[in-house]
Amino acid sequence: MAKQPDPAALPGADDRLDAELRTPLRPDAFALSEEDKIAGITAHFREIMHLLGLDLTDDSLNGTPRRVAKMFVNEWFRGLDPQHRPEVRLFENRYQYNHILVERDITLFSCCEHHFVPIIGKAHVAYLPGEHVVGLSKLNRVVQYYARRPQVQERLTRQIAEELKQSLRTDDVAVLIEADHLCVMSRGVNDTSSSTITAEYGGAFGRDEQLRREFLRLIGK
Ligand SMILES: Nc1nc2c(ncn2[C@@H]2O[C@H](COP(=O)(O)OP(=O)(O)OP(=O)(O)O)[C@@H](O)[C@H]2O)c(=O)[nH]1
Ligand SMILES: [Zn+2]
């Protein structure tokens, strides 16, 4: 069996966020290796399929438990592992660009923590550069890191905003998410036309209504 890492030696998933913003994790969340997690989830998902009455000897179904386990650990929930936190590189703002920068229509794929079904939408983020500018793709990567967890949209919005404030070394950050929740669309109220919008405005975006309006105009709202 693979050597177990010492959980105490690993960073917390959200150690840069205030306690109330962190994704709720067990203290020993990082004790298992990826392969151990995949093996355990495979066994449990096989049992779920068995309980549903599915014939696991069928060659189309037989690989499904491990397929689902790999998808959970390596794709849908890879943002639970702090090793995947993107490194946000800053560059000196040599060109003295001090106006709003918007990265809009960032593809957002997350998972509802109440029902474990997809949340699909777009994130729009903006900041006011000061002494530094950021590599654009890092904005997308921060969105993806926090999206790839079981989530509620409100916490996701605030986690992205707080991470950007710290990484970009400015409070002048805006985040707006518009998303469809499959738990609302495909079950329960079965409403396929409603969507959910959340927004967080830090620093100048909170104080300055004109700046907020400009952000909304630039993202087409
Ligand atoms: N605030 C918030 N609620 C969410 C989010 N995603 C799903 N929910 C809601 O979480 C709630 C869970 O409520 P419950 O009453 O325990 O679950 P339920 O019986 O499946 O509820 P229905 O969906 O109304 O059938 C539902 O109202 C969901 O719409 C989210 O991102 N934010
Ligand atoms: Zn849900």
Encode pLDDT of 41-81 as tens digits: 999 999 999 999 999 999 999 999 999 999 999 999 999 99
Is there a domain that residue 112 lies in? yes
pTM here? 0.94
220 pLDDT above the threshold of 90: yes
Question: Which atom of ligand 1 lies closest to the CA of 181?
Answer: 6
What's the chain's average pLDDT?
95
In degrees, to the nearest 5, what angle opens at C-alpha 173 toward C-alphas 121 and 167? Answer: 95
The structural domain count of the chain equals 2
Is there a single domain that holds both residue 112 and residue 171?
yes
Same domain? 106 vs 69: no
Which CATH number belongs to the domain containing residue 40 in this structure?
Answer: 1.10.286.10
For the CA of 198, the nearest ligand = 1
Is residue 148 in contact with ligand 1, taking CB distance under 6 Å?
A: no
Same domain, 208 and 144: yes
- The closest ligand to the CA of 152 turns out to be 1
Helices 136-147 and 153-168: angle between axes, nearest 10 degrees = 140
Exposure string (b/e) for 60-74, b if CB count within 10 Å is 16 or more? eeeebbbebbbebbe
Q: Residues 34, 84, 115, 132: which is the catalytic one? A: 115
CB contact at 8 A, 149 and 81: no
Return the CATH number at 163.
3.30.1130.10
**Which residues form the domain of 34?**
30-76
Contacts for 103 with CB less than 8 Å, ≥ 6 apart: 124, 125, 126, 136, 139, 140
**51 in the same domain as 111:** no
* pLDDT > 70 fraction of the chain, expressed in percent and rounded: 95
Q: 108 with 131, same domain? A: yes
Q: Which of 152, 183, 186 to mutate to test the pocket of ligand 1 (most atoms within 8 A of CB)?
A: 183
Take residue 103 and report the two structure tokens written for it. Answer: 């990265």
Euclidean distance between CA atoms 190 and 182, whole angstroms? 9
ipTM: 0.95
- 17 forms beta bridges with none
> How confident is the model over 79-131, as pLDDT tens digits?
999 999 999 999 999 999 999 999 999 999 999 999 999 999 999 999 999 99
